[in-house]
Each structure stands twice: as structure tokens, then as C-alpha cells.
Structure 1
Amino acid sequence: MSTSPSFPSPSRPLKLSLFLYVLSQQATSALAYSWSFQSPPKQCSDFTINITGSDGRPPYRILVIPYGASPLANNVEARTILDVPFDGNSASLTFKLKYPENSQFVAVVSDASGFGSGGTSVAAQVASSDDDSCFDSRTSVQPQFFFSIEPANQIVQCVNTRLWWDPAVVQGTPNFLGVIPGGQSFAIPQGSLSNVPNQGTGFTWRPNLRAGTTMILVGGDNRGNGTAGSSLNVVSAGISPDASCLDSSSPSSTPGSPAGGSYPTGSTTPGSGSGGGSNVGAIVGGVIGGLVLLISLFLVLFFYRRRQRDRARQREKPMDLISADDDDEDEHGDGPGDRRSRNDLPQFYQPEPFTVPDPTIADTDSLDGRRPLSGGTSTSFYTRSGTPDGSVALGGGASTQGTTTRKGAPPRMMRPVNIIQHDDAGPSYASPPKDEEAETIELPPAYTALRGAPAPAPEPPAPAPTSTAS
């Protein structure tokens, strides 16, 4: 019986070593070279670029492109596009920056693998210096040939754009570059050349750029990159946006380091973490904004519900014009002796009901039952329909014209009453007897009928003394 050879299984330290080796190989392959400014760029001063990392393939070269308007008087453009190669396999380059102070530029580093492999910087600003001999502030520079785009002066997302030039002034075949500040720069693929009347020689390019991307279009020929100058464009969406040409590999603009000073630039490897800080800030800002929005909505809903409950409570409460302020008095009283309502009178000013005694003689309310007043006196004659029954005044019920009766007792007739007000403080004359004599109520005389005491008569003057002659 044959047996297969057996090998000992790798120990745990050997497995760990193999894992670390594979991980280090993957990390090394994922690294990309980068470059940085060793010092802040200054007007007419030496400018040094250093390459770091092991992924670059020399020889390197840097393309420096003017960015923004010229700071010189009369908008004189003294800046030119600089296409500077590194020496051999060197990873460092020093050259003179012939840009005026307060101007800006964008730099792109490339190696043998292709244009823009080292990444693109954001706009850097040139600092001042005492040397201004490297440029002419009175004369604008001119490119060695010009190029044009159609539609004129615009680049539209996924819409065919024609790049054309005058073949009489070009050396070799022109090339065009797309430079995105702080993003992924690329070489524009050249299609088949064609001649169009009144336009010259050119080709059609369909830009797979997202709307809103800032791109610098750079033209060159066999004399170098940038010999045709550059144009700054912002990609537009167009009237009918078309996104059929966009995919994950479409060049885009990613956040970069702030302009000025010394700062490194990462590679164009997709998925690089150059925008991690900005993403974290955006996430934090979005979370805070969402929380503020939720709290605001909760407060609005809370106060709205509270207002609805108050309105419902007011609709259910009956209207009482007399005791409208009773609740306020109960809540804000001054002491135990406070009145329960503002409409209540003090204790000694509260009226008491007058109870009419039981009638002794019943009679109908007619003018014949009234007693005549005292003759020869001025009287005030008050009449009424009749005095109600005492039990009615005490709340036993009301009788109207003798038609309403009390339960358990016969209705009582209303009796006529004469009211006489005396002017002479004496009894009134007796009326002739009748079958049914009306009740008489005598009132005291009015205060206006009383006469005041007569004023005392003045004393006569004393007689004057008489003198006698001796």
C-alpha cells in the first residue's frame, strides 16, 4: 500500500510572516509618487520641485500654466506656459519662475507613464521679491500659434467639440491637454483630422467631463506643450443635458491643498484620499444641519398643537360677561377677604330684597279703586298695575294677569295701591266709604316742602347821645 508524503503544516509565526509580506507588497504596489514645492514661489526667484515615492518612472517634467487674470497694469500678460523637463533620472528640479507677484499658476507633473501621472496642484500664488527683471511689464507675450474651439468659447458636457488650427503655422501635429486644477489632468485623444472651410484643420472631441468642472485647455506641437497658449473654461450642461458619456473614469475636479507655500500633490489614482478632510467636514455639517432641522420641526409642531388646544378650550368655555374675571380674581387675590368677583358689592352695600306683606283686600286694578288725594295740595301720583303676592316675591312663582296659578293654592287677586306724598305733613282727607276701600300708603313730606327758619330781624340802631348846655 502506497502512502502519499505528508508535509508539516506551517506554524503560526510562519503564517503571520507570510500575511505581513503579502500586505506589504500590496501596500507598496498601491503607493504612488508625489511631488512638492520646497519653498513658496516668489517673483523672479529660483523655484525647486522635489519628487518623492518609488512609483515614478523617470524622466519627469513639469508644466506650469498661468491661471487667472494678470496683476500687471493695463492687463498686460507677461506670463508664458513653462514646460520644463528634469535632468535625466533626477527627482529634483530648480528653475527660475518668471511670473510677477500676486499672479497665480497651476503646475502638473508627469513621468514616462503619461501626462499628469504625478497629479495637478491647485492655483498657487506668487509672492513678492526685490527682483523684477525676468519679465516685461509693458508688453504682452504671444503664443507661437493659435487654436480655436467650436462651439465658440464653450465646452458642453458630452457634446461634440471641434478643435481646429491653421496648419501653416504648426510644426508637426498639434496636441491638446486638459488640466483640471486640483484634479485629474489628461491628454485629449486626437480623432481623425478634417478640413472645414473657414476653420482650418482639426478634429472632433466629445468631452466626458461633468458640468461645473473647471478645465484649462492647453495646446502645443512638436516645439513643446503650451506653444499654442491656453484657455480657461467651465464645462456647462447645455440646453438638453446629456450624461451618456460619463462613467466612473471620467476626469473630475477633487479638492486640493490651499494655494501658496509648500504643499505636496498626490497622484491621479482613482479613489485617493485627497478629499477625505472635506468629506468629513461635509458629513459633520450635514448631520448638524439635519439635527437643527429636526429640532425646528419638533418645536413648530409642539407650539402648533399647543395653540390648537388653547383654541379648543376657549371654544368650550361658556361666555359669562358678569363673572368673566372670576378666575383671575381667584388666582391673583390679595387675601382671604377678597371679593369673589369684581362685580360683587361690598358687604354693607349689598341690596336686600323687600318682602311685600300678604294682601288684606283683593281688588281689580282699576281707576275706580284709587283713593283721591288730599284736596288743595300738589301731589305726585304714581301708579302701578298691582302689588304682587308676597309668596311670589319670595320666589314661589309669578302670576301674569291672573291666569297663572300656584300649585296647591288658589290664585290671589292683585289689589290696587295708591301712593300719596304729603306736602303739608298732615293726614289726608278721608275718602267716602266704599264697598272695598283701597289700601293707602302715606309718605312723609318732601324735603323741598319744608321751610327754613326765618332770619332774625336786624336790631334797631342805638340812639345817638344828646348834649345839654350848662
Structure 2
Amino acid sequence: MLSCLLPLALLPCLSAAYSFNFESTPKACDNLSISVSGSGSPPYSVLVIPIGASPLPNNTEVRTIFQHNFTGDSTSASFQLKFPQNSQFVAVVSDSSGFGSGGTSGAVTVLAGESSSCYNTSTSVTPTWVYSLVPNSLTQCSPTRIWWDETTGLVEGTPFFHGVIPGGESFSVPVPTNNLTKVANEGLGFDWTPSVRTGTTVILVGGDDRGPGSGGSSNYIINFGDNSCLSDSSPSSTAGSPAGGSYPTSTSGAGTSDSSSGHHTNVGAIVGGVIGGVVGLVALCLLAAFFIRRRRFHQAQKKPVDLLHENDGSNDNLPQFYRPEPFIVPEPSALSTTAGHETTQAGSDTRPSVDRRTSHYSNLTADQPMSMRSSTPDQSVSTSAYMRKSPAPPSFRPVNIVQHEDAGPSEDAAPQEPETIELPPAYTNIRAKNEPPPPPPDDETAAV
């Protein structure tokens, strides 16, 4: 048992022992050079399989599957690529240890060459014989019958089949030559259970004694099934690095694949993703800043105005309409009434009445003005003296002025007694007294 498992364990090591590279750019009708590097087991060979639709008008297919064998122990080979421009193919390199031991390339695009005279565009090529599947699909770990019609005489020898996975691991389909079965309406064939993972693209290539490709090829995608036949060595599309080195994968020649990296690098997608991420991050930051500013604005609008300013005790920071102003006592609006005289209300256009009184010097008091005294002491005055009285001064009374605060007294301030303002008496109730006339004034006084 151990002797049977040992070769299987060494198979991955042998597969990874060497690889190949395209030494020239694949161009229509030009020579394509391939070199092998590493410790393989010559002789080497390369199998070229066209994939995809034909780029020629009316879908004319001029491509054929072919295998080119290296000369002797040579590690390089060159052959003419008879494929039209913009078509694609997959290359598989093998040595004496088995099929696909040198690796499988990805989809290679053929660029424009110097001419297009190496193929005939008038007719389409067809395989020598064909094979069929029942059911016409491949399912993971589910048996599929592969059969062909041996009665037509088109098959030479016993057919064989290869499973080619672009950019992955290719393999040979085991054919039980001593256990082929014949089924009515199906011909001769055998059952095969593909141990290939779900979603893997597989190109099934049929061949006979004339070489691989004589039975044509078909593309399949492995359907979902059970995992009973899978193992760590089960092939898949991403099991290994695409072989072939650098080669064009698009019609413009861009998007080359490098076997050292093991994957295709799409610079445009990476740059686009980075720019999109940066723009999204900036948009989120701007949105967050907007909501923060909006929240602060609403909080500032809801904050009440403190009219007391109990914290700092100062009114300097109050708005203009909330600043207190001192109370100013208004001017008196009415004049008091003097005994024996007529008075008028303040602001009236009526002039005060004139009190005409006839008097003698003997009736004058010492407080009367000097102009009313005669220059001759004994002379009596027969004429009447007319005097116009000024309005009596306003009558004032003691007033207590109390200034109230807008929002009430401060809780911290101690209660204060109201300030009392005392004003002098108005002397409105003092009447003039009759006194003997004073001595006559001198000449200077009379002149005045």
C-alpha cells in the first residue's frame, strides 16, 4: 500500500520541478518560441488548444489543436502560430513524467502579425472524430459517461482524454482500456468521476493514435456535487500559478501575466478602488462635521439669557436692550399756588396775571426791592406802583427714591435700607409783614 501511495505523493514535486516561458510575443502567422527552465525529464512537448469564439467573419473556425514536440533533449522550441489576430489559446507543456507536468498558461491573446496568409478563411476545420457525454455536463464527484462511435472507423486505436484547466493544473483522464462498455444508442465508452472542484473551467480534449486533438475539445464548468472524491491535490482553476511567463491577455497587448507573481494585476481596478474609498471617507467626514455644527447651533439657540449674571456680578456682557439705566426724576408738572397771587400750570401758554397794588413807602417792608423806595424820605407816593409777580416757585416735598432691579434683588446681596433724599423747603407759606419804611437810601442807591 505504501509503495502505491509514494508515487502519488511525489507527483506534485515533479510537477513543480520545471516551468516554461514564452520567449516571443504571440502574433498571427509568426513564429512562437518557448523555452523550458528547471529540472524536467525530456523530451518536452507543448499542446496548443484554441479557446473562445473565432474572430473571423461568420465565425469561421480556422484554428486546430496541435502538439509540437521538442527536438531530443532540447529545452526550447519554435513553431509557426497559424491563428488569426485577436484569437486566444492555452498552452500546456509536458515531459516524459506525464501530461501537464510543466504547467498550463492562461488565455493568451494573439496580436497582429506581418501577414495572415497562413490559414484558409474559406472553410472551417472540424475534428476527425467526436465524442459525447451522458449527461452532457461535468459534476463534482458524480460519474459521467464518455463515449464515441467506433463503427464509423474514424477512431484509430483507443481514444484518450486530457482535462485542461486554463491557468491551473491540467491532468489526464484515466481510460480503462480493458473495461470499456457498449451501450445501445451510445456506442463504446466508460464512466469517469471528475474529482475537480465546483466552478472550475475544464477543457476536455480527445485524442487517439494520431495525437491529442483529433477528437476535438469541449469546454465545461464543473457543477456542484458532493465532496466524497475531493482531496488536497484535487485540481482547480486557482490551484497553481499560470505558466508561460509574460504574455498578452487582451487585444491591446496589455494585462500580461507573470508566472512569478502567480496572478494577474489589474492596476485600473486597484486605483479605482483606492480613489473610491478616499472619496467615500471624505464624504463621511464632511457629513459628520455638518451634523456636529448643526447640533451646536441648536444648543446655542436654546440657551436662556441670564439677566442676573449671578456668576460674575457684572452687567458689562449684557446685550444692549438688557442693560439697566438710572432712574431720572422728571421735572415738576405743576406749579403751587401762592396766597394772594394767581398761578398757571407748567407748559401753559397763558402768562401769569399782574397784581397791581397801590402803596406808600410806609407800607414797604425791608425786604422789598430798593427800586420801590422814594428818594425823599418824607415824600408820600400818590402814584401807583405796578409790579408783575413771577410765578411762585414749585412746592417740593421729601421723596424717598427706591430703584427696583429687573429680576428682583440678588440672593447673595444683603437687604439695604432705602436711601432718603432731603430737599430744602420751598418757603411758599411765608407772607410779607408790614414794617415802618426804612430810611431813605442815598443818591447812588436811588439811582440804581
TM-score calculated relative to the size of structure 1: 0.52
> Match of 1:75?
59
> Match of 1:34?
19
> Match of 2:319?
340
| 3-state SS in 1 of match to 2:126 | coil
Contact 1:45/1:97 (8 A) holds in 2: yes
Q: Spell out the pairing of 1:37-186 with structure 2 (5 A cutoff).
A: 37-53=22-38, 55-152=39-136, 154-168=137-151, 169-186=154-171
Contact 1:77/1:141 (8 A) holds in 2: yes
Distance 2:130 2:124 in 1: 15
Q: Identify if the C-alpha distance between structure 1 residues 264 and 108 changes in structure 2 by more than 3 Å, giving closer, same or farther.
A: farther
> Match of 1:213?
200
Matched, 1:259 2:248: yes
Letter in 2 for 1:259: P
Q: Identify if the C-alpha distance between structure 1 residues 277 and 145 changes in structure 2 by more than 3 Å, giving closer, same or farther.
A: closer
Distance 1:91 1:67 in 2: 26
Matched, 1:199 2:178: no
Q: Identify if the C-alpha distance between structure 1 residues 147 and 45 changes in structure 2 by more than 3 Å, giving closer, same or farther.
A: same
Q: Identify if the C-alpha distance between structure 1 residues 144 and 354 changes in structure 2 by more than 3 Å, giving closer, same or farther.
A: farther
Distance 1:165 1:207 in 2: 19
Distance 1:227 1:73 in 2: 25
Letter in 2 for 1:157: Q
| 3-state SS in 1 of match to 2:50 | strand
Q: Identify if the C-alpha distance between structure 1 residues 92 and 310 changes in structure 2 by more than 3 Å, giving closer, same or farther.
A: same
Note the C-alpha offset of 1:318: 5.1
Question: Deviations along 1:10-63, whole A, 9 cap, x unmatched?
Answer: xxxxxxxxxxxxxxxxxx99973232333223333333332233x111111111
Distance 2:257 2:31 in 1: 18
Contact 1:36/1:264 (8 A) holds in 2: no
Distance 2:55 2:37 in 1: 33
Contact 2:247/2:257 (8 A) holds in 1: no
Letter in 2 for 1:99: F
Matched, 1:247 2:236: no
Contact 1:103/1:126 (8 A) holds in 2: yes
Distance 1:295 1:213 in 2: 37
Q: Identify if the C-alpha distance between structure 1 residues 31 and 100 changes in structure 2 by more than 3 Å, giving closer, same or farther.
A: closer
Letter in 2 for 1:49: I
Question: Deviations along 1:214-247, whole A, 9 cap, x unmatched?
Answer: 22111111221111111122334x4xx5344333
> Match of 1:275?
262
Question: Deviations along 1:179-202, whole A, 9 cap, x unmatched?
Answer: 112221111223553333332222
Note the C-alpha offset of 1:206: 2.4
Aligned length: 306
> Match of 2:386?
none
| 3-state SS in 1 of match to 2:145 | strand
Question: Deviations along 1:122-162, whole A, 9 cap, x unmatched?
Answer: 2222333444333210111110111122332x333333332
Contact 2:42/2:72 (8 A) holds in 1: yes
Contact 2:49/2:64 (8 A) holds in 1: yes
Q: Identify if the C-alpha distance between structure 1 residues 52 and 228 changes in structure 2 by more than 3 Å, giving closer, same or farther.
A: same
| 3-state SS in 1 of match to 2:101 | strand
Q: Identify if the C-alpha distance between structure 1 residues 318 and 150 changes in structure 2 by more than 3 Å, giving closer, same or farther.
A: farther
| 3-state SS in 1 of match to 2:58 | helix
| 3-state SS in 2 of match to 1:177 | strand
Distance 2:117 2:157 in 1: 34
Note the C-alpha offset of 1:94: 2.8
Contact 2:248/2:257 (8 A) holds in 1: no
| 3-state SS in 2 of match to 1:50 | strand
Q: Identify if the C-alpha distance between structure 1 residues 222 and 156 changes in structure 2 by more than 3 Å, giving closer, same or farther.
A: same
Q: Structure 2, unaligned stretches of length 5 or more? A: 1-12, 307-314, 334-398, 405-448
Letter in 1 for 2:206: G
Question: Deviations along 1:302-323, whole A, 9 cap, x unmatched?
Answer: 6598479649847964599xxx
Q: Identify if the C-alpha distance between structure 1 residues 163 and 314 changes in structure 2 by more than 3 Å, giving closer, same or farther.
A: farther
Structure with bigger helix share is 1
Question: Deviations along 1:290-313, whole A, 9 cap, x unmatched?
Answer: 996996898599659847964984
Letter in 2 for 1:193: L
Distance 2:231 2:219 in 1: 24
Contact 2:163/2:205 (8 A) holds in 1: yes
Q: Spell out the pairing of 1:324-403 with structure 2 (5 A cutoff).
A: 340=319
Question: Deviations along 1:77-128, whole A, 9 cap, x unmatched?
Answer: 1111012222222323233322222222111111000001111122222333
Distance 2:196 2:329 in 1: 99
> Match of 2:380?
none
Contact 1:218/1:226 (8 A) holds in 2: yes
| 3-state SS in 2 of match to 1:225 | strand
> Match of 2:347?
none
Contact 2:149/2:187 (8 A) holds in 1: yes
Matched, 1:232 2:216: no
Letter in 2 for 1:117: S
Contact 1:115/1:186 (8 A) holds in 2: yes
Distance 2:189 2:149 in 1: 9
Contact 1:118/1:265 (8 A) holds in 2: no
Q: Identify if the C-alpha distance between structure 1 residues 215 and 352 changes in structure 2 by more than 3 Å, giving closer, same or farther.
A: farther
Contact 1:34/1:264 (8 A) holds in 2: no
| 3-state SS in 1 of match to 2:213 | coil
> Match of 1:436?
none
| 3-state SS in 2 of match to 1:74 | helix
| Higher-Rg member (1/2) | 2
